[in-house]
Amino acid sequence: MRYHPDKLGAGITENDKKIWLKVQEAYETLSDPIKRRKYDSSLPFDERIPEKGSWTSETFFEVFGKSFNHNSMWSKKKPCPSFGDATTPLNEVKAFYKFWDNFESWREFS
């Protein structure tokens, strides 16, 4: 196909223009760290925690570990300590609780 300057944009509809503007706006939002953070903060937040009886002593660390890992995405401080398991050394357990007791989120709640 040859380039014809007089036909550039021929066939573009108003709907095509609206879609292009939405794509451009999304790109501008997602490529700007401040706008991206504000956008990410507006997404629905899953604040559920495992309900009593939804785990056993065998699944406790897996079930709650997933919950903490999910919420770690909002942490200002990285890396977040692992929830661990039944064999985690006491100093790591204490570091885990200290981290979450002082948790700081970058999420905006405006």
pLDDT of residue 2: 59
Which pLDDT value is given to residue 79? 94
Q: What is the mean pLDDT of the chain?
A: 87
- Can you state the percent helix, strand and coil of the chain, rounding each to 5? 55, 0, 45
SS3 (DSSP) at 46 = coil
Q: Where are the domains positioned within the chain?
A: 77-110
Q: Model confidence over 4-39: pLDDT tens digits?
A: 556 667 788 889 899 999 999 999 999 999 898 888
Mean pLDDT of 96-103: 95
Residues above pLDDT 70, as percent of the chain: 91
User: CA of 34: how far to CAs of 92, 99, 102, 104, 110, in Å?
Assistant: 33, 25, 24, 17, 14
